[in-house]
Every structure is written in C-alpha cells, then in structure tokens.
Structure 1
Amino acid sequence: MSRRRVVITGMGVVSPVGNTVDETWESVKNGKCGISGITLFNPEKLPVKIAAEVKDFDITKYGIDSKATRKMARFSKFCLAASAQAINDSGYTAEALKNEKLGVMVGNCLGGMDATEAGYEKFFEAGPDRIPPLTTPFMISNEAAANVSIYFGFQGLSWTINTACASGTDSLGLATDLIRSGRCDLMLAGGTEAAITEFSIGTFIKLQALSSKYNDQPQKASRPFDRDRDGFVMAEGSAMFILEEYEHAKARGAKIYAEVAGFGSSCDAYHITAPLKDGSGAAKAVKLALEDAGLSSSEIQYYNAHGTSTHANDVGESNMLKLALGEENARNLHISSTKSMTGHLVGAAGAIEALFCVKAIKEGFIPPTINIENQDIEGGCDLDYTANKGLECTVNVAASASLGFGGHNACIILKKCE
C-alpha cells in the first residue's frame, strides 16, 4: 500500500512585514525589513530598544468577531487571524470543515508573555488577590490551539507542540504524520508567537542573545552570516496552513501549493542554549527528512536557513549543511535567511519560513538575506546566502530547518506537486 501524500492547500500569515500572505511575500521578495523601535512597551530601561512587531493589526479584517477575542492573548489572536486566512484560502468554510477528519496543531514557545508579565506585576504590587482572573488562560501555550478550535467549532484533536524555535517546523511535520497515518484527512497547522514584552526581552538580553548594537539603525540589526552580527531580533506573528491528503484535495478540486515531501527531527543532546558547533545534531534532522522524502541531497535547490544572526547559529548551521548535504551540494545550494527581514518569530519561525519555501517553489524566486555587508567567510559562513538581492530561479524542492534552545532540531522538505 502506498503512503498517503500530504499537500498544502491553504495558507495564512500575520507578520512584521505584512498581515496577509501576499503582503508578506512581496516584502521579503523586495528586501523590506519589519524591524523598528519597540512600541508595545517603553524600552527605556533596556539596552535593546528594537523588535519586529506586527503593525496595523485589525482582527476584524479577517471576518472575525472582535468580541469573541476579548478573552484571548495576543499570540492567540495572531493564530486565529492566520487560521481564518488559511481556511478561506483553501476553499473551505469553517462550517464545512466541521464535517471533515480535521485536527489542529500549533507550534508555540513562550505562550502569553504579556499576560504572564501583567500577572506578575499585579502580584508583586498588590498580592495574589489582585492577579487578573484570566491570567492562566491567557498565558498557557496551549490556548492558541484551543481558541482556534473553540472559535471555529473544530472538535477533532487540538494539540500544541513546544520545541522552542523548532516548534513551527515540528508542528507541520507532526501534522503531516497524522494525515499519513489516516488519523486525519486535513490539519490546520503552523505556529504563533507574541513575546515582545519587557520581561521577555530582558531574559534574552541576559543570555546575550539579542542584537544591541543597532538601536539607531533597526533595519540593519538582523544580519545573518555577516561579520558584524551581534544577535537576533525578537519578532512576533503567526503562519498557519491547511495540510490535506492528496487524493482528498484532488477529489474536491482544491488548488495545491506544494507537497510536504519529508520531515526529520533530532536533538543535539548537548547544551540548554548553544548548538553543536559542527552542526552534526541538526544534520541528522536534515538527513532524516531527506530519507523520509526519498530524495537525494543534490535535489534540494533552496534552503531557508534558521539564520538567526548569532555567531553560534550561523557558523553551526553552515557546517550542518556541509555535513548533511555534502560540501559540493552545500556550495551549489541557494540559501537565504528571511529572519534578516522578519526578525525571529521563535515558535512561529519554522512556520513562516515554510511559507516562504512554498512561495519560492510556486513563483520561482529565492528571497534575499539582507544586511550582508561583510560576509563572515573567515568565520566559517562561506556559502551562497543570496546576499541583499533576490534571485529568479526554478525551485522544485525546498527545505527549511529550525534549531531551538535545548538542541531541538527539525527539518521539513517541500516539493512541487506533480
């Protein structure tokens, strides 16, 4: 019996560079950066004063009743908006999906940090009696998936995956496996994050993970693979997909964006924050994804890098590609880090970067890595990162890998559907 194939039939996104798929893709194609001064709180006390915020977000533009979102944290609202777009894009209505074998899978890392911080503030100011009553359902990370299921009335499985920065990619991979197994025919899957708060930014500053040199030039702050990089830029947003069994999609005449060809996951088993310098842990995830897809390493034409703009990640990831694909294939590969424009969406990063892979396949275009002014070749970043300007190029197979704190690695491979 042949394995059930999984395809993408709907997409939705809320991001720092656009609040629809078309807006977001046009921005990254043209090298538009969504990083600016922080407005969600006063960053006066912090050495980092920049982030990649979602701008001009109005949930009613997606046909969602704003009254129904009053008891949702920001990360849940982003997920709901992206989900509504994906459902509409798929040609389904929410009502029709209730009759399908549908599940919901959302990758998230930090939950409702805004609610957590507000709850702590009231607790320390006035004691436990003054904690806002909805603090728990606002802050726990499962509430994005739960709120999507509640709003649309989806009664199938509703799961949250948290593997730090690999959460969005793992969400798509596990959703694919659920369809392959026959447990579901469709999955609403992706990732969401909204953690631009004073406390959250402060914790990452303590880890020396965030860029602090470019407060006066925020659009230059995220500079993956550049010699002068000094950390990542916190971002927020959500990307969600309708994944569907291929024959099911064909039978209803759905438009198909791409096929989910392979998925692999691994753990460095090394350090709570740092990746393995040689990239061997992440290379295992890529090799597993290739094996799952039944593809050779030479068949990948575009790779959307995790590319955080930290010294450890960018060198380790470059090493990883050489290990996973072979030196020659790695050097022939088109690579870009769209985090140079979107910032780092943490639990949603893998999802939005999978979306860019889909668009690269559909449109034959490799988005750039902006801000590469002095490529760090001597430091080990010596591959082709599509510096500063995008490239028209046929893409039949694309891959995206995500590398999270704790050594969590995930890779998803997408291909043109034939």
Structure 2
Amino acid sequence: MAVTTACASGATALGTARDLLLADRCDIVLAGGAEAPCHPLTSLSFSQMGALSTRVHDPKGASRPFERDRDGFVLAEGAGVLVLERASDARARRARPHAYFCGYGSSTDAYHYAAAHPAGAGFERAFAAALADAGLHETDIGHVNAHGTATPMNDQIEAATLHRLFNGHPPPVTSTKGVTGHTLGAAGAIEAVLAPLTLRHQTIPPTANLDVLDPAIDLDVVAKEPRPHRMQAVISNSFGFGGHNAVLVLRQA
C-alpha cells in the first residue's frame, strides 16, 4: 500500500500501519518512506517557489532550522523503514522493542497548495488526536522532534503552535533536518527512526547550524551539543504540502 501525503507521507504510512495492526488486518508491517527528489526539474520547481536555501557559498550550513538567518530547506534523498508489530507478538518471540508507538493523529487543513495554515489549525487537530489516541496529556511529552524545515514561514508557524499547545511551556525541541536536509516523503519515517533512539539514550540530538535562535521563536531548541534529558514520551511532527499533517507519539519501551 502506498500513501501520498506529500512531506507527511512517511509518518502517514506509519500511522496507517498501526491502524492495520490494531484492526487485526496484519501481524507485522514494514512501514516507512523513501524519496529521491534530487533532479534538476524538482530543484528548479522548489527554487521558483522560493522554498530552497540560496546559501550556496556554505552548503554544510545551508539547512538552518529555527535560525535567525534561515532562508529555506535543502533538498535531500533518503529512506526510513520500521518494523511494527503488536506488543504481545514481540513478547512471544522475545524481541526487544525500541519504543511503543502509542499515538497517531492526522488532519488535512487544505489551506493552501504549499503554505501551512497561519494559525497551525491542522497541526493542532493532529496533535490533539495523537495525544488522545495515546491516552496522554501534553505534560507527559518530554521532547518534540519538530518538522523544522528551515523555511522562514514553516518554522515560525510550527514554533508558535507548539508554544500555544503546550500552554507556553513546550518541552525541548530539535529538528534533525539541519543534518539530513529535507527528504520530503521520507522525512517522517526517518525522524520516527530517530525518536526511539532519543528515548533509549535519554539524549536529545542538537539542531545543526543553529547559531542564533530567531527572536520570534519562543522555544527551547537544543543546539550545539546533545542534551541529556529524562523523558518517557516524545512526539514527531510531519507536515506536507496541501495541508497534510501527521503527529506520532512514541513511548519508552
């Protein structure tokens, strides 16, 4: 089965896989995302939209999520695939789970073909649905793996929405796209691979290339070096063109 929700596709695939398991339609599901968009036509299209970084003189520093001087994302290729199964089946084969995928929420705000809803309305609905599905409160979340593409608009909207959803006290945030770039449909799956590792090691990876936080962003963004942090649950955000939103909640195994 293939799902197509733009940059949220990897996360949507994982949520769909979880639904199949909960409905007893499958015993084990391999789910994730892969994308290889580095082609002149794709690059030109995103460039014409003004979505790509123009920091060609500093390619290693071009992807700068939440940074004051960010100017767009860096197109990248990649893949992430996870093995999902019911906890009872994992115990039966004496497998060691990396994390429990305990909540999933999705929405489509259809506000614009490329831009996010300015008030984060779709993200808010997906966030609320994911927490309700997990049976958790926002205070139970110890870390957010943000969508954080490094575009001026996306980072600002996501930051403001997170600040509001956590009642002004969001947990530490990171965006791994400073290292990976934006792999579009694969991004949500890659970040869902990283989230269980964050839980296992109780350490939040830093956001690369974040030298000066945008003063308009009121978040505790981890930067410069990994941060040891006690946490039992994390969320991973994915937002796609066309207003697709997917939020995953993972809990420590």
| TMscore range, shorter length | over 0.9
Contact 2:163–2:219, Cα closer than 8 Å, also in 1: no
1:172 alignment partner AA:
L
Unaligned runs of 5+ in 1: 1-158
Which residue matches 2:20? Answer: 178
**What is the percent sequence identity of the aligned residues?**
43
Structure 1 residue 280: deviation in Å?
Answer: 2.1
Q: Partner of 1:346 in structure 2? A: 184
1:395 alignment counterpart: 231
What is the alpha-carbon distance in structure 1 between the residues aligned to residue 8 and residue 135 of structure 2?
22
Q: Write the distance in 2 (CA, Å) between the matches of 1:324 and 1:172.
A: 23
The residue identity in structure 1 corresponding to 2:192 is: A
CA distance in 1, matches of 2:241, 2:195: 23
Decide whether the 8 Å contact of 1:280 with 1:323 is kept in 2: no
Q: Secondary structure at the match of 1:188?
A: strand
CA offset digits 1:225-250 (Å, max 9, x no partner): 11111100001010101001110110
Give the Cα–Cα distance (whole angstroms) in 1 for the partners of residues 34 and 99 of structure 2: 22
Q: Deviations over 1:166-214 (max 9, x none)?
A: 00001101100100110011100000000101111011111110001x2
Q: Which residue of 1 aligns with 2:243?
A: 407
Superposition pairs for residues 329-340 of structure 1, below 5 Å? 330=170, 333-340=171-178
Instruction: Give the SS at the match of 1:242.
Output: strand
Mapped contact 2:116–2:154 kept (Cα < 8 A): yes
The structure 2 residue matched to 1:372, chosen from 210, 219, 230, is 210
CA–CA separation in structure 1 for the residues paired with 2:4 and 2:164 = 27
User: TM-score, normalised to structure 1's length?
Assistant: 0.60
Mapping 1:156-235, distance limit 5 Å:
159-212=1-54, 214-235=55-76
1:244 is aligned to 2:111: no
Secondary structure in 1 matching 2:147: coil
- Do the aligned residues in 2 keep the contact of 1:279 with 1:323 (CA within 8 Å)? no
Aligned pair 1:308/2:142, yes or no? no
Q: Which has the larger radius of gyration?
A: 1
| One-letter amino acid of the structure 1 residue matched with residue 115 of structure 2 | A
Q: CA offset at residue 324 of structure 1? A: 2.5
1:114-150 CA-partner distances (Å, limit 9, x unpaired): xxxxxxxxxxxxxxxxxxxxxxxxxxxxxxxxxxxxx
For 1:324 and 1:268, the matched residues in 2 are separated by 17
Alignment match of 2:98 (pick from 239, 247, 257) = 257
1:282 counterpart residue number: 123
Structure 1 residue 276, shift from structure 2 partner:
1.4
| Contact persistence 1:190–1:348 (CA under 8 A) | yes
| Matched residues, number | 253
1:165 counterpart SS class? helix
State the SS of the aligned residue for 1:313: helix
Q: Is the partner of 1:327 in helix, strand or coil? A: coil
- Give yes or no for contact 1:289–1:411 (8 Å, CA) kept in 2: yes
Structure with the higher helix share, 1 or 2? 1
Instruction: Measure, in 1, the Cα distance between the counterparts of 2:140 and 2:125.
Output: 17
8 Å CA contact 1:277–1:315 kept in 2: the answer is no
2:83 match: secondary structure: strand
Report the aligned-residue RMSD: 0.9
**Structure 1 residues 347-385: Cα deviation after superposition (integer angstroms, max 9, x where no partner):** 0000011111110011111000121122111xx212011
Higher relative contact order (CA 8 A, sep 6+): 2
1:68 aligned residue: none
| Equivalent pair of 2:238/2:247 in contact (CA under 8 Å) | yes
Which letter does structure 2 place at the counterpart of 1:201? S
Partner Cα distance (1:280, 1:389) in 2: 32
Match for residue 361 of structure 1 among 199, 202, 207: 199
Partner amino acid for 1:195?
P
Q: CA deviation at 1:307?
A: 0.2
Where do 1:55-74 residues align within 5 Å? none
TM-score of the two chains, using structure 2 as the length reference: 0.98
CA distance in 2, matches of 1:280, 1:383: 19
- Asked whether the equivalents of residues 401 and 410 of structure 1 are also in contact (C-alpha less than 8 Å), the reply is yes
Is the Cα–Cα contact under 8 Å of residues 358 and 414 in structure 1 kept in the other structure?
A: yes
